[in-house]
Structure 1
Amino acid sequence: MTDDELAEAKRRRRLLAASVRRAFPGSTTYFNGSVAHGDANTPLTDVDLGVVLTKKDAEPYGPGKKSSLPLMEIARDAIHNDLDDEFDKLTIEIVGRRRAVLVRFGDPVTQGQADFTADVMTAIPHPSGHGLYIPNTKIAAQWDRADPITHTQMVLEAITDTKVVFARTVRLLKHWNGTHSKPMCSWNIKALCLECLNEPMPLINALQDFFTYAVDEISKGPTADPAGVADPIPLNMPRREVHKRLCTARDYVDLAIEHEKAGRPLSAQHALHQVLPELVPDADCTEEEADRLARTVRSGGTAASGLGLSTGLVTPTRAWGI
């Protein structure tokens, strides 16, 4: 994305934040999602933000009390009132929305995209003082406990601690996720990264650390909320299928690193292409592989041994520009 596109996305986010603060006097707003976390990919299509009511205004709402629908209606009306003049195609949806008011600007930030949207969440303080109640219109209680403010703080700290490697790795992993049937939501990826990426390192090593860690953790069960407030993070597929995809990616990344260390850059690139096909061009590694097999046989091994090839992996990858 360009700097201008990001600046425009943030400007629209500020407009929405100002609007809902006026709608709920004394409230505070927070930003979350990919733009706030610094890991947005191209094309830039949406932003996320929330408004937190004061304790007094929140009293009628929560589990066993009122749902978030009246709050969503207030937010919708305020946004229309403030933004309709600038965005004449603006539409806002609340019916059927699980968590947030959906704002459609009718005007994309990135050229060639159909639209640019925003999720605006109306939240209330949790009585414990830790985290929030956020809407969930799909359950009987109508509210879930969560802590998106702490989540954003944790992500930003990780970006600083790793000298931006955290954000760059998440971007790559979101590409992997998107090209492999989206087995995990983006927040699950980030939550796992928070546990295994805590210092600067080359991106290929960050990918290796993530997949190695994720394989182990997903084999145990769902990922816990890093803030210790919300329920475990659900997967988009059966756990066995997610684990399979993570294992495959881990093996290809390991193989790419082995090839690179052995001086086979084309074989490494071919391997990494299997993980990130949109970002890493494929490479013809025929000659490199023939040479490797010949040297393996000369040294007394078999043609199928070494570098994981006997387990069915095709020689993998690098476009070491990642």
Structure 2
Amino acid sequence: MASNNSLASLLDEGRRKIQVTAEELDEARRRRRLLAASVRRAFPGSTTYFNGSVAHGDANTPLTDVDLGVVLSKTDAKPYGPGKKSAMSLMEKVRDVVHEDLDDEFPKLTIEVAGRRRAVLVRFGDPVTYGQPDFTADIMTAIPHPSGCGLYIPNTKIADQWDRADPVTHTRMVLEAIADTKVAFARTVRLLKHWNAKHSKPMCSWNIKALALGCLDQPMPLIDALQMFFIYAADELDKGPTPDPAGVAGDIPLNMPRREVHKRLCTARDYIDLAIEHEMDGRPLSAQHALHQVLPDLIPDADPTEEEAARLPMAVGAGGTAASGLGLAVGRVTPTRAWGI
């Protein structure tokens, strides 16, 4: 059975399935603006910044959260920092002012401070995406770093109570990459976040984006961007942890041992290579089947039996095997995945 679905069209259709809707974004941004106004009222002279998937332009649906931060003025920040006061009183002030400003509109609003490592957690009790249980926001209370490079952000789990980071530069770098690639960066990251979620979440979203910043810097088809990412990411993770692209914070932690993450990246890389090879050789169903292994739910599976049966005599006649590496043999053979069942 022939297929008219190219890898390009399959990926374009797939990324549209998970792309956040305009309605979700509008409401999330409205709530983010309300929170930003509250924290600026709490800390006169402060500035706010936005980060996370909504700010980075790579949010998927369902949309469940938003991220923002407030940076105190240098004068207000003086009592805080390593060896000084923790951010707890700042976080409590955020809690109080947000309750004052938003309780009337969101009667189910709850705010968590105790036990939070980095940010105040706001639970609206009212989802942005229909059918979701809730919508939340993380509000970071930050202070300028004395060097003028980056910020100190809370970390209640360490003795110093503060970490260095540069979320403002992170957002700028991501937005520049989106512009440089004519949106291919954001679309690829959406697909990669789906891959990550469907294969045991070996990496955090920021690690994916940090690695993508190292290899996606110009417009390209999505299949080429995926291939480039998995090749680059597997090579980089084989060398060691991913460093902070802004050069301020420490290495980005993984959700699994680095060896296991590397296996998953290599498996995805090999399936993408195989999909491209099948398409170039005129086997669209085999190509689709291989791509489905990487992006299940987004890419419908296809039965490559007839294509592989036709290929078998040629492969044997050429002295090769019926399938090599992750290739498919006669019948529907699904290769073993490094990420498990």
TM-score normalized with structure 2 length = 0.90
**Aligned equivalents of 1:278 and 1:148: distance in 2?**
32
1:23 aligned residue: 42
For residues 136-180 of structure 1, what are the alpha-carbon distances to aligned partners after superposition, in whole Å with 9 as ceiling and x for unaligned? 111111110000000000000000000000000000000000011
SS of corresponding position for 2:214: helix
**Aligned equivalents of 2:240 and 2:204: distance in 1?**
15
Q: Does 1:114 align with 2:138?
A: no
RMSD: 1.4
1:246 aligned residue: 265
**Aligned equivalents of 1:191 and 1:131: distance in 2?**
17
Q: Choose from 253, 278, 281 the match for 2:297.
A: 278
Change (3 A) 1:305 1:116: closer
Q: Does 1:49 align with 2:68?
A: yes
Q: Is the 8 A contact 1:183 1:236 kept in 2?
A: yes
What is the Cα deviation at residue 293 of structure 1?
A: 1.4
**Aligned equivalents of 1:287 and 1:315: distance in 2?**
18
2:81 aligned residue: 62
For residues 69-118 of structure 1, what are the alpha-carbon distances to aligned partners after superposition, in whole Å with 9 as ceiling and x for unaligned? 00000000010000011101000001111110000000001100000000
1:320 aligned residue: none
SS of corresponding position for 1:169: helix
Paired residues, number: 314
Q: Is the 8 A contact 1:270 1:315 kept in 2?
A: no
What is the Cα deviation at residue 303 of structure 1?
A: 2.0
What is the Cα deviation at residue 25 of structure 1?
A: 0.3
1:319 aligned residue: none
**Aligned equivalents of 1:315 and 1:286: distance in 2?**
14
Q: Which amino acid aligns with 1:35?
A: V
SS of corresponding position for 1:196: coil
**Aligned equivalents of 2:326 and 2:132: distance in 1?**
42
**Aligned equivalents of 2:40 and 2:220: distance in 1?**
41
**Aligned equivalents of 1:165 and 1:10: distance in 2?**
23
Q: Does 1:155 align with 2:171?
A: no
What is the Cα deviation at residue 309 of structure 1?
A: 5.6
What is the Cα deviation at residue 252 of structure 1?
A: 0.3
SS of corresponding position for 1:50: strand
SS of corresponding position for 1:71: helix
What is the Cα deviation at residue 299 of structure 1?
A: 2.6
**Aligned equivalents of 1:59 and 1:307: distance in 2?**
58
**Aligned equivalents of 1:302 and 1:175: distance in 2?**
33
**Aligned equivalents of 1:283 and 1:308: distance in 2?**
15
Q: Which amino acid aligns with 2:212?
A: C
**Aligned equivalents of 2:288 and 2:328: distance in 1?**
16
Q: Which runs of 5+ in 1 are unaligned?
A: 317-322
Q: Is the 8 A contact 2:308 2:328 kept in 1?
A: no
What is the Cα deviation at residue 204 of structure 1?
A: 0.5
1:71 aligned residue: 90
Change (3 A) 1:283 1:74: same
What is the Cα deviation at residue 297 of structure 1?
A: 1.4
Q: Which runs of 5+ in 2 are unaligned?
A: 1-19, 337-341
**Aligned equivalents of 1:290 and 1:315: distance in 2?**
17
Alignment of 1:1-322 (within 5 A): 1-305=20-324, 308=327, 314=334
Q: Which amino acid aligns with 1:52?
A: V
For residues 26-58 of structure 1, what are the alpha-carbon distances to aligned partners after superposition, in whole Å with 9 as ceiling and x for unaligned? 000000000000000010111000000001100
Q: Which amino acid aligns with 1:84?
A: D
Identity of aligned residues (%): 81
For residues 276-304 of structure 1, what are the alpha-carbon distances to aligned partners after superposition, in whole Å with 9 as ceiling and x for unaligned? 00211111110011111121112332323
SS of corresponding position for 2:148: coil
**Aligned equivalents of 1:271 and 1:67: distance in 2?**
51
Q: Which stretch of structure 1 is more off in the superposition, 38-47 or 293-302?
A: 293-302
Q: Is the 8 A contact 2:174 2:213 kept in 1?
A: yes
Q: Is the 8 A contact 2:271 2:326 kept in 1?
A: no
For residues 226-284 of structure 1, what are the alpha-carbon distances to aligned partners after superposition, in whole Å with 9 as ceiling and x for unaligned? 00000010111001100000000000000000001011110001001110002111111
